[in-house]
């Protein structure tokens, strides 16, 4: 028990303050869609990127980190995640993603429940993930609540931006939780948005009111365009219906999540300037709304001019965000298949770094090694999109992070299983 308490204390201890650092000699990937730069230097000061590229001078007094033979990239941004909200399955005590018995929905703010000492946080951080868009799950209504942007730093202050977006379920899931059909779900959505746009006209006290005053107030920033609306939707017909909302609410900042059939309406998505957070490789009709699923979905949308980030949406129920580099690498490999459409290397890295940031309106803050961005930097022992590569160092806001996690401690414990070193439970 004492060792567990000491481990928890170490996780929440304040890390060393940000300093001026020069990471030199590595293959530098900016994360903005450009190709890697050999022999580059990344300079960090006061927790921000000062410069990145070839021919960058090392400031006097900077701590120099030699990255020769290694790769340097922005930290991975997990665009749709439950990190910090859920620690395991079948245990309600450590699952704050849903609130099926709450009278509230859109008003729920998940930022108050983020647990920075969770084991998954440390595991994903050591795998190169530095930020995540944490979302709630819908329960008794289509409105799930307000998501947050977090960092995975080893400190007690994980929330970068609370109430960063509103999350709504449409399509098959929305039909189920929004009244039993897609038309019913859209009526609920439009009624809620009308109440948010004009609260004075809504009768919140009526016993049959479809939305509470608190939920309508939470949707106010969405209607005014100051908070993005993440809408989980898959089939092409449902995407068209969501895009039509912008004609009524012109300030609406829509972000499509899922969009498995997005390639079919890619031109319309691009014309509406709506970004997409999609799964990388769904290609099976596991649901009726996946009937036109194809691995070329992301590549086709990008070629149509859509801003596309990839995520674990529709792929993994758990927050295994370290798989994102593999998915991005798969999209690069897809370009080599006749008739398929994937992404080139720079675009693939951007789909898990700068593109998620752009989707939520934070591309000037996170997601790349451009000057002024938060210094979320990962040094890798190889190409970050190759399956065998792993981080050797992680910086968040310019602070070097611990690379240990429960997984690495278990690995080290049993790597050389000398009996006298085993836990007491294994003594004979």
The verdict on residue 192 lying in a domain is yes
Residue-number span of the structural domain to which 303 is assigned: 76-366
Model pLDDT for residues 52-80, shown as the tens digit of each residue: 999 888 999 999 999 999 999 999 999 99
The verdict on residue 283 lying in a domain is yes
For residues 356 and 400, membership in a common domain is answered with no
Q: Does residue 209 surpass a pLDDT of 60?
A: no
For residues 54 and 131, membership in a common domain is answered with no
For residues 65 and 80, membership in a common domain is answered with no
Q: Does residue 13 surpass a pLDDT of 50?
A: no
For residues 30 and 114, membership in a common domain is answered with no
For residues 219 and 306, membership in a common domain is answered with yes
Model pLDDT for residues 375-417, shown as the tens digit of each residue: 999 999 999 999 999 999 999 999 999 998 888 888 887 887 7
Measured distance CA(74)–CA(128) in Å, rounded: 9
Give the CATH number, domain containing residue 33: 2.30.40.10
User: In this predicted structure, what is the pLDDT of residue 14?
Assistant: 44
Exposure string for 197-220, b = 16+ CB within 10 A, e = fewer? beeeebeeeeeeebbbeebbebbb
For residues 78-87, average pLDDT: 87
For residues 279 and 209, membership in a common domain is answered with yes
User: In this predicted structure, what is the pLDDT of residue 3?
Assistant: 44
Q: Does residue 140 surpass a pLDDT of 80?
A: no
Please give the full DSSP string across 237-275, using - where no structure is assigned.
Answer: HHHHHHHTHHHHSTT--EEEEE-TTGGGGHHHHHHHT--
Please give the distance of CA 300 from its chain centroid, rounded to a whole number: 22
User: In this predicted structure, what is the pLDDT of residue 89?
Assistant: 65
For residues 245 and 115, membership in a common domain is answered with yes
The verdict on residue 422 lying in a domain is no
Q: Looking at mean pLDDT, say which of 12-26, 89-103, 296-310 comes out highest.
A: 296-310
Confidence of residue 12 (pLDDT cuts 50, 70, 90): very low
The verdict on residue 372 lying in a domain is no
Q: Looking at mean pLDDT, say which of 207-221, 263-277, 283-297 comes out highest.
A: 263-277
Measured distance CA(82)–CA(98) in Å, rounded: 11
For residues 105-120, average pLDDT: 89
Q: How many domains does the chain have?
A: 2
By the 10 Å C-beta count (0-12 exposed, 13-18 middle, 19+ buried), 372 is classed as: exposed
For residues 286 and 208, membership in a common domain is answered with yes
In the chain, what is the greatest distance between 2 CA atoms, to the nearest angstrom? 74
Please give the distance of CA 287 from its chain centroid, rounded to a whole number: 24
Spatial neighbors of 350 by CB under 8 A, at least 6 apart, are 31, 32, 33, 368
Model pLDDT for residues 329-342, shown as the tens digit of each residue: 999 999 999 999 99
The verdict on residue 421 lying in a domain is no
Confidence of residue 212 (pLDDT cuts 50, 70, 90): confident
The verdict on residue 66 lying in a domain is yes
Q: Which of 196-210, 295-309, 344-358 has the lowest mean pLDDT?
A: 196-210
For residues 350-367, average pLDDT: 97
For residues 66 and 50, membership in a common domain is answered with yes
User: In this predicted structure, what is the pLDDT of residue 22?
Assistant: 97
Q: Average per-residue pLDDT in the chain?
A: 88
User: In this predicted structure, what is the pLDDT of residue 17?
Assistant: 61
User: In this predicted structure, what is the pLDDT of residue 5?
Assistant: 40
Whole-angstrom CA distances from 203 to 48, 135, 200, 215 are 48, 29, 8, 13
User: In this predicted structure, what is the pLDDT of residue 158?
Assistant: 95
Which residue, 304, 416, 365, is CA-closest to 151? 365
Whole-angstrom CA distances from 11 to 30, 105, 151 are 29, 32, 14
The verdict on residue 56 lying in a domain is yes
Q: Which of 166-170, 273-277, 367-371 has the lowest mean pLDDT?
A: 166-170
For residues 185 and 320, membership in a common domain is answered with yes
Model pLDDT for residues 194-206, shown as the tens digit of each residue: 888 888 777 665 5
The verdict on residue 288 lying in a domain is yes
For residues 64 and 84, membership in a common domain is answered with no
For residues 316 and 402, membership in a common domain is answered with no
Give the CATH number, domain containing residue 208: 3.20.20.140
Paired strand residues for 40 = 26
């Amino acid at each position: 028990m004492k060792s567990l308490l000491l481990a928890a204390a170490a996780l929440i201890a304040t890390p060393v303050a940000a300093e001026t650092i020069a990471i030199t000699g590595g293959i530098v990937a900016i994360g903005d869609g450009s190709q890697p730069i050999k022999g580059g230097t990344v300079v960090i000061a006061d927790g921000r990127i000062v410069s990145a590229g070839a021919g960058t001078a090392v400031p006097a007094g900077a701590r120099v980190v030699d990255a020769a033979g290694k790769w340097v990239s922005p930290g991975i941004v997990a665009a749709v995640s439950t990190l910090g909200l859920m620690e395991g399955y079948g245990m309600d005590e450590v699952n704050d993603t849903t609130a099926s018995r709450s009278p509230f929905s859109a008003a729920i703010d998940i930022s108050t429940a983020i647990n920075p000492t969770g084991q998954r946080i440390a595991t994903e951080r050591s795998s190169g993930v530095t930020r995540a868009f944490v979302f709630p799950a819908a329960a008794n209504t289509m409105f799930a609540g307000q998501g947050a942007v977090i960092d995975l730093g080893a400190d007690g202050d994980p929330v970068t931006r609370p109430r960063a977006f509103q999350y709504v379920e449409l399509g098959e899931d929305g039909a189920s939780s929004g009244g039993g059909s897609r038309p019913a779900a859209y009526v609920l959505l439009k009624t809620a948005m009308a109440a948010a746009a004009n609260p004075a006209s809504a009768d919140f006290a009526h016993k049959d009111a479809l939305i509470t005053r608190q939920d309508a107030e939470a949707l106010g920033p969405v209607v005014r365009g100051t908070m993005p609306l993440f809408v989980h939707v898959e089939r092409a017909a449902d995407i068209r219906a969501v895009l039509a909302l912008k004609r009524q609410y012109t300030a609406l900042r829509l972000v499509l999540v899922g969009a498995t059939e997005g390639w079919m309406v890619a031109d319309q998505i691009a014309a509406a300037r709506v970004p997409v957070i999609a799964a990388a490789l769904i290609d099976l009709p596991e649901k009726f709304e996946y009937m036109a699923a194809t691995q070329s979905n992301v590549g086709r949308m990008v070629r149509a001019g859509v801003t596309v980030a990839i995520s674990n949406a529709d792929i993994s129920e758990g927050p295994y965000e370290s798989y994102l580099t593999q998915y991005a690498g798969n999209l690069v490999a897809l370009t080599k298949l006749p008739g398929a459409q994937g992404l080139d290397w720079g675009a693939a890295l951007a789909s898990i770094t700068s593109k998620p940031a752009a989707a939520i309106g934070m591309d000037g803050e996170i997601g790349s090694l451009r000057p002024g961005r938060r210094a979320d930097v990962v040094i890798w022992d190889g190409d970050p999109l190759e399956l065998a590569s792993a981080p050797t160092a992680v910086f968040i806001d310019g602070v070097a992070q611990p690379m240990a996690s429960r997984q690495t401690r278990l690995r080290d414990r049993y790597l050389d299983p000398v009996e006298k070193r085993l836990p007491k439970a294994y003594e004979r």
